[in-house]
Amino acid sequence: MEILAEERNMTTEQPTLAACIYTHMTFMKVCYALWITMAIFGLIGNTVSVIVLSRKRLRLSTTATYLQALSISDMFVVLTAVFRYKAYYILLSEESYMEARFWLNGYVEVYIEPFHFIFLGASSLITTALTTERYMAISCPLSIKRHCDVIFTRVIIGAIYGIITIVTLPTFFTYNVISMNLDGQRITLTQATPFGLKTNYECIFHKLLIPIFWYIVPWLCIAVMNTLLLVHVKKSAKVSSRMLNFPLRSNRNLTVMLIGIVLVYMVCNLPKCVSVFMDLIQRELFKSCEIEVCVLPQSSRDLADTIASLLNTFNSCINFVLYCILGDKFFQECKRMFCGKCMKRSVRRVGFIETSVKRSRSNSKGPSVLQFQLKGREESSGTCIM
């Protein structure tokens, strides 16, 4: 009887395990497809954003300079995310998939993932700097206009990239890739370097620096600045309702666009911030950097981390849509750039026609005379008897 009971338990457990594996594989395929889709859309959208923001009408403002740098960073974030989260698996055949797992993954982990963290950190800090600059522009506009120009903005962006690169650079030297043959199959493995063995930098970087300075601190700073910007927009809305001042309305539209960008950033990065914050608390309780904490059960934790990573990548591909919806100048410039030829053709076809019609009668029984004049690139006139 005991043997029969054990066999029944095994037969009931096997379908459950198979169903779990199948569900997990299906979920990951959907996630891979979403990452590929976001990468394509993000590359196209951010490339267009850089081109539009580089045009003469927009490139002379500090905000456009920040948005250019943000678009460039986001472009590489979505590109490296395809490799960081192994989303390219969905594009491979079964043979290529096995080759990628045994050969390509080692190079991705050692040489591509650090670039992902560089551009991800730059994106967060540039968003923080942009929000701070906008708040200072509305709180002390004269001082900002005097000291903060495009050159100073480029210096800040260069400093952000420099600091992020310096902090991330040691991770390139903590591991190296070794190749070996196993039963005729070429595989690659990651091996700790002497620098990685002697120091604990890899653990400090991934478990402390990235959670604090890539996610938590920027999110808190942006939350404070965005709250102050919202208060300013409400006050300016009351003022603009009483007076029609074009510069005031233009600045208010710019502030609204930045608030929209920041709100999307906060929503998309909140799950990741919560996840890394819980890890930090658990790690502080254990007083160890190297310990792997499990705040949630492993399956639930993996699911939460995957969704948080998807939202993080989504934030880097959606800004182009926000620029078009909330940015009047950006949308108008985008229309001029991509629809300019169509608009010129329609203008030539219509010819800026302005008609002035005069109807007169030579006598009560005579025909009506319709006189018209076309004003445009070439003026012409004529008379039509009706």
Same-domain pairing of 265 and 367: no
Domain shared by 296 and 366, yes or no? no
Residues 334 and 355 grouped into a single domain: no
* pLDDT greater than 60 at residue 199: yes
The dihedrals phi and psi of 214, each to the nearest 5 degrees, come to -95, -30
Whether residue 223 is predicted with pLDDT greater than 70 in this model: the reply is: yes
**Per mean pLDDT, which of 184-198, 232-246, 343-357, 358-372 is the most reliable?**
184-198
Domain residue limits at 280: 2-344
Q: Give the pLDDT band (50/70/90) at residue 374.
A: very low
Let me know whether 182 and 42 are in one domain: yes
What mean pLDDT is reported for the chain? Answer: 79
280-293 burial code (b ≥16 CB/10 A, e <16): beebeeeeeeeeeb
Do 376 and 298 have their domain in common?
no
Going by C-alpha positions, the residue among 97, 99, 109 that lies closest to residue 182 is 99
Question: Which pLDDT score is estimated for 4?
Answer: 39
CATH number, position 7: 1.20.1070.10
The pLDDT score that the predictor gives to residue 181 is 79
Range from 53-57, 70-74, 277-281, 362-366 carrying the lowest mean pLDDT: 362-366
Q: Identify the weakest region by mean pLDDT among 133-142, 167-176, 230-239.
A: 230-239
The string of pLDDT tens digits covering residues 49-82 is: 999 998 887 877 888 999 999 999 999 999 999 9
pLDDT of residue 92: 86
Q: In the chain, how many domains are there?
A: 2
More confident residue, 147 or 289: 147
pLDDT at 251 over 60: yes
Instruction: Decide if 248 contacts 239 (C-beta within 8 A).
Output: yes
365 with 321, same domain? no
Residue 314 has a pLDDT of 96
Please report how many Cα atoms fall inside a 13 Å half-sphere around the Cα of residue 115, on the Cβ side: 18
According to the model, what pLDDT value does residue 351 have?
A: 43
Please say whether the beta carbons of 63 and 258 come within 8 A. yes
pLDDT over threshold 70, residue 138: yes
Q: 329 and 190 share a domain? A: yes
Together in a domain, 232 and 380: no
- Residue 383 clears pLDDT 50, i.e. is over it: no
- Give yes or no for residue 340 having a pLDDT over 70: no
- One domain for residues 368 and 228: no
Same domain membership, residue 208 and residue 356 = no
109 shares its domain with 152: yes
* pLDDT for 216: 94
Same domain, 361 and 242: no
